Amino acid sequence: MKLILLGLLLSSPVIVSEEPITITIAVGASNASFDFHGRIETVISEQDKDAFQITNDILKRGVEGTLGSRPDFVSLGEWKDMYRERKWSHVKRILYPIKAEVVSIRSEPVIVSIQTFSNHFSHTATYKAGISSEIKNSITSSWFDSQSLTRGTQISYGINFKVPGSNGSELSAGMSTSDSLSFTTNWGVTSFEEKATTVASSSEVSVELDPGQEAVAALTATKGSMEVQIDYVASLKGDVAAKFSYPQRGRYYWRVDINTLLSAIDMPIHIFSRQILKIGYYSEAKVTLTDKHSKKMLYEGPAVVKA
């Protein structure tokens, strides 16, 4: 199986807890398996409040629905001294992937480059069958149902394209800058990036030609296109502080869990977003040498990636 590694690193101006989101896609001929983990916790922002439709009135209604009385003031964490002294938790937004699947995979063999070697001498001659060409891997990211939740949040991608090496092993392992595609975009904003890589025959490839003989070197590869759908969920956690002008059951200040509060008045506690990645890639690059006239195979082997 070919492996394409997508590393998604999300950052926000006020990150509370960060475990980089990494998605690994193991791609087969007609399907793929996924492994992903990670989450980002940030202090709730004005954009997040808008996305969850949270206003002071909503919070007061939620407290009333939970405790039975409407407070005069509410806070999501702005009353820092009180939160610290009472060890209450500032309301935070949590973002993480929950599902990924391949929508479509298409691939076809393509000829990347062709070169002819001819022996015009009256004696046998050996030629270095050097052939190379530039290929481009690309990614387009688009979003659906992202609302205003995380606009402004940056996402840094790293995609590792693996191509068979000259010894049968896979090149471009890891996330090296020469063999990977990386870019940064804003959540909810369509982006496009591509990375050019040179594939070539091994420097050891040579061919011995008789007088008048011609050989054709062909650099071929499998050109693939894959569409991946990734679903994310945003949720909230933390305490809403409420202050009453008159004591409620002997207390002026109360705290209510944000999800309990929102659920009490039938407000959403989850927001779902969908990302579509369209990935164009080359794999299984190889070099063949054939006699131009007899079509006899003179050499066949994997191509190599040059930085």
220 by Cβ neighbours in 10 Å (0-12 / 13-18 / 19+) ranks as middle
pLDDT value at residue 177: 30
Domain boundaries, the chain: 2-306
- Say if strands 206-209 and 73-75 run parallel, antiparallel, or are unpaired: unpaired
Sign, CA torsion 186/183/19/170: positive
pTM: 0.73
d(CA 291, CA 215): 5
**Mean pLDDT (10-residue bins), the chain, 307 residues:** 41 52 60 71 89 95 96 96 95 89 87 94 91 87 69 58 42 35 67 84 85 94 86 93 95 97 95 88 87 93 78
Instruction: Concatenate the DSSP letters of all residues of 231-276 into one string.
Output: EEEEEEESEEEEEEEEEETTEEEEEEEHHHHHHHTT--SEEEEEEE
What's the CA gap between 256 and 217, in Å, rounded? Answer: 72
pLDDT at 293: 94
Q: What distance in Å separates the CA atoms of residue 22 and residue 51, rounded to the nearest whole number?
A: 25
23: left (phi over 0), alpha (psi -120 to 50) or beta: beta
* Site of tokens 């409040």: 49
Query: Which of these, 11, 18, 41, 36, lies nearest to 228 by C-alpha position?
Result: 36
**Taking the CB of residue 191, how many other CB atoms lie within 10 A of it?**
15
pLDDT of residue 222: 84
Q: What is the number of other CB atoms lying within 10 angstroms of the CB of residue 71? A: 24
Structural contact between residues 180 and 172, judged by C-beta atoms closer than 8 angstroms: yes
Rounded-to-integer distance, Cα 141 and Cα 264, Å: 37
Q: State the Cα–Cα distance between residues 84 and 237, nearest whole angstrom.
A: 17
> Could you count the other beta carbons within 10 Å of the beta carbon of residue 61?
18
User: What pLDDT is recorded for position 176?
Assistant: 29
